Amino acid sequence: MCSSDLARIAEMVQVAGNRFRLIGVVSVAFGCPFEGAVDPGVVTADVRRFLELGVKHVALGDTTGHGTPRSIAALFRRVMTEVPQVTAIAHLHDTRGTGLANCVAAFDAGVRHFDSSFGGVGGHPAQVKYGGGYTGNVCTEDLVCLLEAEGLRTGIDLGGLIDTATLCEQMLGRTLHGRVTRSGLLPGLA
């Protein structure tokens, strides 16, 4: 992070006080479409800088889908070992079809907080073209269904989640990327 970024973060922490939970984000922690490989030491140092500024929740983003289960697990383990005071959040995209596998790898590494979106809505700004234009987030309905099928209770109403994803499709006027919305929940989860 550059000094101007650090100054802005410090100002946000000061203004927020203890009224808000601030979440820092390392957007391309697993690979960058412009610079290529990202040094895990740099990512860990950025997480440490967030903590030093008072930000105790940090999302590591695979916003361009460069991550693999092995690289996801390795980086989260490193960050959580070297900066254990920070709550790590997995912000993973399904650009190359590895989103859910990467979520499982992050979970196995100890992550308990995940960013996701209905139908995988999200991605990059329209002006930036990479990943063939397909850089959507991990689908909430697919992730919750997987976690529940594995016996991990999320407390999320699966039926309501599917209904919300379907409504999201209707509101956006397009088919989204959620697989569970098409196939339905696994038997026993309905």
Residue where the block lists tokens 């410090």: 10
Average pLDDT over residues 146-170: 92
Residue 135, pLDDT score: 60
Instruction: Give 131's DSSP letter.
Output: G
Across 56-60, 105-109, 142-146, 174-178, least confident range:
174-178
Q: How confident is the model at residue 177 (pLDDT cuts 50, 70, 90)?
A: confident
**Which tokens go with 44?**
């860990």
Give 21's contacts (C-beta < 8 A, 6+ positions apart): 57
Number of CB atoms found within 10 A of residue 53's CB: 19
Higher pLDDT, 84 or 17: 84
Give 47's contacts (C-beta < 8 A, 6+ positions apart): 24, 26, 58, 60, 79, 83, 86, 88
Residue 32, pLDDT score: 87
Q: How confident is the model at residue 152 (pLDDT cuts 50, 70, 90)?
A: very high
Instruction: Give 67's DSSP letter.
Output: -
- In this structure, which amino acid lies at residue 31? G
Q: What is the pLDDT of residues 110-120, one digit of tens each?
A: 999 999 998 88
Residue 134, pLDDT score: 58
Q: What is the pLDDT of residues 65-82, one digit of tens each?
A: 899 999 999 999 999 999
Give 30's contacts (C-beta < 8 A, 6+ positions apart): 38, 60, 61, 62, 64, 66, 67, 71, 72, 75
Q: What is the largest CA-CA distance in the chain?
A: 52
Per-residue pLDDT for 92 more than 70?
Answer: yes
Residue 133, pLDDT score: 52
Average pLDDT, the chain: 89
Angle, alpha carbons 178-76-140 (nearest 5°): 15
Residue pair 93/135 in contact (Cβ under 8 Å)? The answer is yes
Distance between first and last Cα of the chain: 45
Residue 4, pLDDT score: 82
Q: How confident is the model at residue 20 (pLDDT cuts 50, 70, 90)?
A: confident
Q: How confident is the model at residue 156 (pLDDT cuts 50, 70, 90)?
A: very high
Higher pLDDT, 129 or 90: 90
